[in-house]
């Protein structure tokens, strides 16, 4: 939520900040702004709306500088507007700040500052920060900032510039992501790696409470007490190409198409001679031997992956498993302890609710491992061990390739755990791995049906509501299909376990309701087929996902998306692909921006 970037160096800061903001736009896109220092003056330009509006404004002004900060916003406090956009400055316009996060005690701090004569111009929580820095400033920004953070409560990543110290950007993070990127005679701060990939791959991941003093030629990292911290920069393993559309109309479509290669990449990283090798993950067999239950914590799409994971872990390891929403788990007084293994799943590794759940679990003594797509993220750093998903940067707000990557890791981890617990034989594990190896090709076959799925979407554009039904391991697929549709197309959609239909939702069925039925080959197929007949009897309009060669469904239903027949337990890796494409086309044919759906942001760093 919110993207921040800062540049100091010998090149034109404005264009670098603007390009960086475009790459961070997935983090929020309701307003944007930029602040620069030049000839002893602070200039701020900001506006409501997308980065393209800001770009037009900047082109008119033709400003230039060698140091500046930028921000793209996802509103929390105060509506999207130009006055609530960042950067915010102190009332004397000496200090400018960009902020990602929430200052929880801003109201009391604001009241106090108002009593002291400060006049605020926005409704944001962020505007108190430059004013507090100004209040404590006695010739050293770092010292002033250290005083400020002692009284701030909440989460923040901050980028700060000041006319009084025009040779540096000061940055700090507390529970909101921030990296420092190192170039030659230039340095950067950013919320996320894609913003800086065009210039450098050398980064420092700031730890909570650390202050970075970023100059053109050097960077200093200080701890909470102002002592220098020795850090070694890390090299980002992916390049700028992975963060570009590469000929696809949108990032989402590109990411849907990347799924087969992501799956193959994961298998090549973690499977050696048909055996699962988690050496790089830090997961120790002795930890797994000691655990008696598993709790999966995640949000949104990652939670749906967790629901599939629950089936897999129970099937293979025979341990009790729960999947929990991060936002609920921490307030439930969960009964867990040192024999509980928590698996936290997150694409970004910065989702505040998931992190809060993890902290609660650790507080109660549970052991935590994570499945995550961002190295250096808060989640990875707070986990005892982690499984990296190798999906590459996922830019589209709607998660697709990260989901199937998370599923793949859950298959591998379930087998691994079951082997450690001696619940399955090496042969059984090998067999499942051999099935997994066939999935990328099967996914490619589904992708070949893109034109057909687009046509089905076109025929259903006028439907006002959708129901998604699945059973067993594909019940979570139904939830995921419905989530994709609502977040992209704004069409009300619900996912249901097909067996629950008769307990209520069947009342919704009529000729105006589209019902997406996941009816692939599985031990539950016959039950699903009965549900389909119940829907037809009530004149519901069905779109079926069925296995190739299913003549029964072909005879009964007009709109069928056929997918290759795979081992039923592995089918969620396949059945979700047509649902992603269906949601994609139902939104893009309506003319919506699929990469940046309204009201959303890619990484949800507020609770």
Catalytic residue among 2, 47, 299, 372: 2
Give the shortest CB-358-to-ligand M6R separation in angstroms.
Answer: 11
Which of residues 348 and 588 has its CB atom nearest to ligand M6R in the complex? Answer: 348
Which of residues 263 and 488 has its CB atom nearest to ligand M6R in the complex? Answer: 488
CB contact at 8 A, 453 and 446: no
CB contact at 8 A, 515 and 467: yes
Angle at 23 between CA 243 and CA 71, to 5 degrees: 155
How would you classify the pairing of strands 154-162 and 202-205? unpaired
Which of residues 327 and 531 has its CB atom nearest to ligand M6R in the complex? Answer: 327
CB contact at 8 A, 54 and 71: no
| Burial status of residue 225 (CB atoms within 10 A of its CB: 0-12, 13-18, 19 or more) | exposed
Which of residues 70 and 300 has its CB atom nearest to ligand M6R in the complex? Answer: 300
Backbone angles phi, psi at 372, to 5 degrees: -150, 155
Which of residues 72 and 301 has its CB atom nearest to ligand M6R in the complex? Answer: 301
Residue with tokens 């025009």: 166
602 catalytically annotated? yes
Give the shortest CB-368-to-ligand M6R separation in angstroms.
Answer: 15
Residues at the site binding ligand M6R, with contacts judged by CB under 6 A: 299-302, 346-348, 351, 354, 397-399, 483, 487, 600, 603-604
Report the alpha-carbon distance of residue 290 to residue 293 in Å, rounded.
10
Report the alpha-carbon distance of residue 208 to residue 56 in Å, rounded.
36
Catalytic residue among 216, 484, 541, 602: 602
- The token pair that represents 314 in the structure block: 């129970």
Which of residues 276 and 308 has its CB atom nearest to ligand M6R in the complex? Answer: 308
Give the shortest CB-255-to-ligand M6R separation in angstroms.
Answer: 11
Give the shortest CB-578-to-ligand M6R separation in angstroms.
Answer: 16
How would you classify the pairing of strands 95-103 and 88-89? antiparallel
Which of residues 110 and 484 has its CB atom nearest to ligand M6R in the complex? Answer: 484
Which of residues 351 and 383 has its CB atom nearest to ligand M6R in the complex? Answer: 351
CA distances, 417 to each of 53, 400, 472, 536, 590 (Å):
51, 26, 21, 43, 45
47 catalytically annotated? no
Report the alpha-carbon distance of residue 581 to residue 445 in Å, rounded.
13
Nearest residue relative to ligand M6R (C-beta): 300
- The token pair that represents 387 in the structure block: 């499984």
Give the shortest CB-379-to-ligand M6R separation in angstroms.
Answer: 8
List the beta bridge partners of residue 295.
322, 342
| Burial status of residue 29 (CB atoms within 10 A of its CB: 0-12, 13-18, 19 or more) | buried
Give the shortest CB-496-to-ligand M6R separation in angstroms.
Answer: 18
Q: Number of helices and strands (H, E) in the chain? A: 19, 26
Q: Convert 166-198 into a string of H (helix), E (strand) and C (coil).
A: CCCEEEEEEECCCEEEECCCEEEEECCHHHCCC
How would you classify the pairing of strands 385-388 and 465-470? unpaired
Report the alpha-carbon distance of residue 53 to residue 85 in Å, rounded.
13
- The token pair that represents 125 in the structure block: 């929580």
Catalytic sites, residue numbers: 2, 602
């Amino acid at each position: 939520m919110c993207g921040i970037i800062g540049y100091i160096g010998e090149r034109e800061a404005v264009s670098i900040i603007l390009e960086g903001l475009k790459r961070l736009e997935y983090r929020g896109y309701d307003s944007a702004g930029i602040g620069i220092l030049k000839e002893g003056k602070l200039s701020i330009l900001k506006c409501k709306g997308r980065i393209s509006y800001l770009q037009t404004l900047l082109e008119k002004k033709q400003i230039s500088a060698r140091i500046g900060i930028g921000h793209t916003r996802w509103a929390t406090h105060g509506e999207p507007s130009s006055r609530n956009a960042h950067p915010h400055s102190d009332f004397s316009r000496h200090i400018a700040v960009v902020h990602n996060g929430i200052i929880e005690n801003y109201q009391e701090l604001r009241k106090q500052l108002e009593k002291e004569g400060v006049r605020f111009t926005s409704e944001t929580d962020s505007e108190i920060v430059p004013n507090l820095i100004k209040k404590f400033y006695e010739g050293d920004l770092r010292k002033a900032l250290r005083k400020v953070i002692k009284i701030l409560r909440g989460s923040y990543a901050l980028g700060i510039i000041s006319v009084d110290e025009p040779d540096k950007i000061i940055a700090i993070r507390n529970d909101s992501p921030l990296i420092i990127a190192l170039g030659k005679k230039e340095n950067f701060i950013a919320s996320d790696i894609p913003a800086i990939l065009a210039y450098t791959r050398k980064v420092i991941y700031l730890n909570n409470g650390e202050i970075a003093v970023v100059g053109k030629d050097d960077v200093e990292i200080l701890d909470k007490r102002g002592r220098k911290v020795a850090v070694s920069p890390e090299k980002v393993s992916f390049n700028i190409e992975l963060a570009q559309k590469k000929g696809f109309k949108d990032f989402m479509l590109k990411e849907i198409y990347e799924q087969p290669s992501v799956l193959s990449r994961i298998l090549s990283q973690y499977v050696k001679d048909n055996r699962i090798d988690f050496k790089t993950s830090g997961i120790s067999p002795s930890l797994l031997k000691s655990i008696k239950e598993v709790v999966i914590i995640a949000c949104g799409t990652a939670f749906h992956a967790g629901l599939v994971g629950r089936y897999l872990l129970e099937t293979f390891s025979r341990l009790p498993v729960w999947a929990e929403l991060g936002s609920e788990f921490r307030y439930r007084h969960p009964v867990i302890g040192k024999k509980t293994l928590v698996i936290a799943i997150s694409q970004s590794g910065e989702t505040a609710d998931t992190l809060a759940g993890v902290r609660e679990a650790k507080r109660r003594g549970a052991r935590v491992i994570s499945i995550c797509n961002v190295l250096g993220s808060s989640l990875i750093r707070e986990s005892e061990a982690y499984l990296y998903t190798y999906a590459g940067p996922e830019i589209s707000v709607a998660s697709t390739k990260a989901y199937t990557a998370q599923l793949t890791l859950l298959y591998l981890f379930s087998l691994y755990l079951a082997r450690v617990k001696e619940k399955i034989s090496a042969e059984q594990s090998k067999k499942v791995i051999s099935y997994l190896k066939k999935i990328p090709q099967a996914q490619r076959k589904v992708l070949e049906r893109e034109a057909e799925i687009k046509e089905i979407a076109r025929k259903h554009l006028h439907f006002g509501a959708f129901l998604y039904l699945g059973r067993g391991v594909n019940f979570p697929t139904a939830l995921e299909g419905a989530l994709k549709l609502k977040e992209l197309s704004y069409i009300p959609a619900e996912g249901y376990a097909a067996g629950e239909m008769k307990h209520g939702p069947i009342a919704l069925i009529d000729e105006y309701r589209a019902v997406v039925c996941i009816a692939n080959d599985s031990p539950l197929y016959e039950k699903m087929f009965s549900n389909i007949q119940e829907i037809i009897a009530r004149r519901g309009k069905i779109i079926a996902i069925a296995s190739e060669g299913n003549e029964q469904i072909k005879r009964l239903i007009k709109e069928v998306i056929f997918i290759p027949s795979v081992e039923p337990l592995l089918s969620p890796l396949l059945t979700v692909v047509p649902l992603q494409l269906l949601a994609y086309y139902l939104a893009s044919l309506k003319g919506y921006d699929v990469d940046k759906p309204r009201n959303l942001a890619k990484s949800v760093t507020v609770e």
